[in-house]
Structure 1
Amino acid sequence: MSRLAEETTTTARDALSDVDVALLPTGSVEQHGPALPLGTDFMAAQAVAGTLGDRENVVLLPTVPVGVSEHHRQFDGTLWTDPATFEDYVTDIVSSIASHGVQKVVIVNGHGGNDGALRRVARRVRREEVAYAVPWNWWGGIGDVLEDEFGMGITHADEIETSMLLEVAEELVREAALEAAEAGANDAWGEDVHGANVGFDTADFSESGVVGQPTRGSREAGARLLDASSDELAALVEWLGEQDIDHLWPEDHR
């Protein structure tokens, strides 16, 4: 796998000549409670993308670290951008690599708050026949592993994210703070009132910023998550690489 940021302008042409699929990691810089680093989401996405290092037909693009995270703004250190700004920025990156001949992209995402903007990016570049971009969350497709290990899906700064970070950036996890993180956590995302979710910001329903039970996390579980996620990404890249780009455009554009 070529890492685009490490190429020069004179080596990039050869490096991209045999590339079928570009990987673009995206995430966030936002609070993950007192135990996990602010960069948890982009670090996880970046780590999963990096597991495809032995594939010659893939190029890894630089990570987009800041995402759609205003709902965490009350917690120190959180950075965010407007959804439209994020959408435009990611669109520009996808369009840039497409101009160099790589029109198939997997956006390896680590932050659920980016989902809406990334879907709009995908529709936009496809509609304009610029590129075929697939938004993909690193926990997508591994529901069986999540159920087996934790009996639940991902929430926020929980046992799942804690496990993943213990595997990919253990030195950044403040394990002594996991109990405090859990003590101030909520058990579900949001606040339900008569069927309406009125938890607009994380601070509305979680004192520590955490949702879940991070003390249940483990490096062993994180290793299994990383392996499973890597396998799913590899399969997606394999599928996308085999597709004829002309057959990926909208029906009315063929």
Structure 2
Amino acid sequence: MSCRYLHERTTTAAADAFQQAEVAVLPTGSVEQHGPALPLGTDLLAARAVAETVGDHPDALLLPPIPVGVSAHHRQFDGTLWTDPETFESYVADIVASAAEHGVRKAVVVNGHGGNSEALRRAARGLREEEVAFAAPWNWWSNLDALIAEELDTSLGHADEVETSMMLAVAEDLVRESALEAAEDEGGDSWGKSIQGASVGFDAIDFTESGAVGEPTAGSKEVGEKLLAHATDDLAALVEWLAEQDVDDLWPRGHK
């Protein structure tokens, strides 16, 4: 499958691409610890892999991926990079607004990191309120709960069987399979820590020594390929729906 990001085009080729496209597709992720077995770029690699599946879609234009996200809660683990939520929000909004200036005023943000979600939602709301662009934040796993439960009998954790499966499917050479057992043995059973209903686990180190949460040894390439295929179908359907919408109908109702 061919895939050409905006940054791989010349300015004249970009002019044609913006004229033809209806929806900008912006991958966002993180560079943060994913335990001893998975790469720091797990969230970025997953988001990018899913986004690239619409690289040839006639309605889509792939924008350059944003690698670093809102990840300060992983800062005690080596290699983690992060930015603050307000900076991330503004950066994403500026990129989507730039695409809108070139004529593509609808976007899907293909996100791979849960920590980005609140900032992405705020960015999308601000762009819509100002009638600059309509951006739909979309986590690649957001419509896969049933499949994850069926295949792995779990829900999404961190550096767990879900993310291990996805990495085995899209970046197998970066997975240290020999370290999966240690990741699990020294990991957490669930995300977060609470006492009497109060959340007291502010950072990942508060509830996982390895950085993993879940059962990464249960992951498999076969399941990862199923996750990727279903996420691909979901993204294509979302792009197609958004492409069909008149942008004027997407602004807030009653907006003056």
Aligned-pair distance for 1:63?
A: 0.4
- Mapped to 2, the partners of 1:3 and 1:252 lie a distance apart of 36
- Corresponding residue SS for 1:166: helix
- Mapped to 2, the partners of 1:187 and 1:35 lie a distance apart of 17
Aligned-pair distance for 1:237?
A: 0.6
- Corresponding residue SS for 2:109: strand
Structure 1 match to 2:188: 186
Structure 2 match to 1:195: 197
Aligned-pair distance for 1:2?
A: 4.7
Work out whether residues 68 and 81 of structure 1, in 8 Å CA contact, stay in contact via their aligned partners in 2.
Answer: yes
Q: Please, which of 85, 89, 92 is the counterpart of residue 90 of structure 1?
A: 92
Kindly provide the CA deviation profile for residues 32-77 of structure 1, in whole angstroms up to 9, marking residues without a partner as x.
0000000000100000001113312210011000000000000000
Q: CA RMSD in A?
A: 0.9
Work out whether residues 2 and 56 of structure 1, in 8 Å CA contact, stay in contact via their aligned partners in 2.
Answer: no
- Corresponding residue SS for 2:136: strand
Aligned-pair distance for 1:144?
A: 1.5
Q: Please, which of 71, 79, 82 is the counterpart of residue 80 of structure 1?
A: 82
Work out whether residues 39 and 175 of structure 2, in 8 Å CA contact, stay in contact via their aligned partners in 1.
Answer: yes
Kindly provide the CA deviation profile for residues 55-114 of structure 1, in whole angstroms up to 9, marking residues without a partner as x.
122100110000000000000000000100000100110000010000000000000000
Gaps of 5+ in 2: none
Work out whether residues 2 and 58 of structure 1, in 8 Å CA contact, stay in contact via their aligned partners in 2.
Answer: no
Deviates more, 1:147-156 or 1:123-132: 147-156
Structure 1 match to 2:151: 149
The alignment's TM-score, normalised by the length of structure 1, stands at: 0.98
Kindly provide the CA deviation profile for residues 188-215 of structure 1, in whole angstroms up to 9, marking residues without a partner as x.
0111200112110000010001100000
- Mapped to 2, the partners of 1:138 and 1:205 lie a distance apart of 25
Aligned-pair distance for 1:247?
A: 0.2
- Mapped to 2, the partners of 1:11 and 1:64 lie a distance apart of 22
Q: Please, which of 42, 52, 55 is the counterpart of residue 53 of structure 1?
A: 55
Gaps of 5+ in 1: none
Work out whether residues 22 and 106 of structure 2, in 8 Å CA contact, stay in contact via their aligned partners in 1.
Answer: yes
- Corresponding residue SS for 1:251: coil
- Mapped to 2, the partners of 1:192 and 1:214 lie a distance apart of 23
Work out whether residues 87 and 118 of structure 1, in 8 Å CA contact, stay in contact via their aligned partners in 2.
Answer: yes
Work out whether residues 55 and 61 of structure 2, in 8 Å CA contact, stay in contact via their aligned partners in 1.
Answer: no
* 1:168 maps to 2:204: no
Q: Please, which of 16, 37, 40 is the counterpart of residue 38 of structure 1?
A: 40
Deviates more, 1:53-62 or 1:24-33: 53-62
- Mapped to 2, the partners of 1:194 and 1:53 lie a distance apart of 48
Deviates more, 1:185-194 or 1:2-11: 2-11
Structure 2 match to 1:23: 25
- Mapped to 1, the partners of 2:57 and 2:183 lie a distance apart of 38
Kindly provide the CA deviation profile for residues 220-245 of structure 1, in whole angstroms up to 9, marking residues without a partner as x.
00000000000111111111010000
Work out whether residues 2 and 15 of structure 1, in 8 Å CA contact, stay in contact via their aligned partners in 2.
Answer: no
Aligned-pair distance for 1:252?
A: 2.4
* 1:68 maps to 2:101: no
Letter in 2 for 1:67: G
Q: Please, which of 81, 89, 109 is the counterpart of residue 111 of structure 2?
A: 109
- Corresponding residue SS for 1:108: strand
The alignment's TM-score, normalised by the length of structure 2, stands at: 0.97
- Corresponding residue SS for 1:246: helix
Letter in 2 for 1:19: A
Q: Please, which of 233, 236, 239 is the counterpart of residue 234 of structure 1?
A: 236
- Mapped to 2, the partners of 1:65 and 1:2 lie a distance apart of 17
Aligned-pair distance for 1:27?
A: 0.6
Letter in 2 for 1:109: N
Return structure 1 stretches of 4+ with deviation > 3 angstroms: none
